Amino acid sequence: MTKYPSWKTRIETLKAQLEHIPGLTQRLDLVPIYGKGQPNESIPNEIIRRFQIREKELPRLELRVKLIDIAYSGLRAEEKEFVRLKYFEEVLNPSIMAELSWSPRTFYRRRIEVLDKIYDSLGCEDAHYWFEGVENESAADWC
């Protein structure tokens, strides 16, 4: 959950970069290097290779964001407010407690309840797609 905002940003960045691949590679002229008279194709090929790797990352990120959005939509209003503050806006715990009028005990109990609810919505441990490596993070990184 803590990576959700950065995943959304990464999706937009990847989409913007992928839109510009054809124009970018057309602007790179093949020029002879070191006076050997042979055009060097390594730069355009390397750019294309890197973007192909990024293109594979995009569907995984989009799936993760979509699944979190679906799980989020199944929460009650107060739970959504908690998730928004805690994970999307990264507000400090004491500020969240004050805004929601929760005691520390209520805060930690509800945090566990909300994360369990989201975890269940995502498919629990059966969610093998969840842990297939975008950024090679561990299973615990999502919450």
More confident residue, 46 or 102: 102
Question: What is the value of pTM for the model shown?
Answer: 0.63
More confident residue, 59 or 102: 102
Task: List, for residues 71-113, the tens digit of each pLDDT value.
Answer: 999 999 999 999 999 999 999 999 999 999 999 999 999 999 9
- For 95, the domain range is 4-142
| Local structure of residue 85 (DSSP, 8 states) | I
Q: Which residue has the tokens 């590679």?
A: 25
* Among 44, 15, 7, residue whose Cα is nearest residue 29: 44
Domain count, the chain: 1
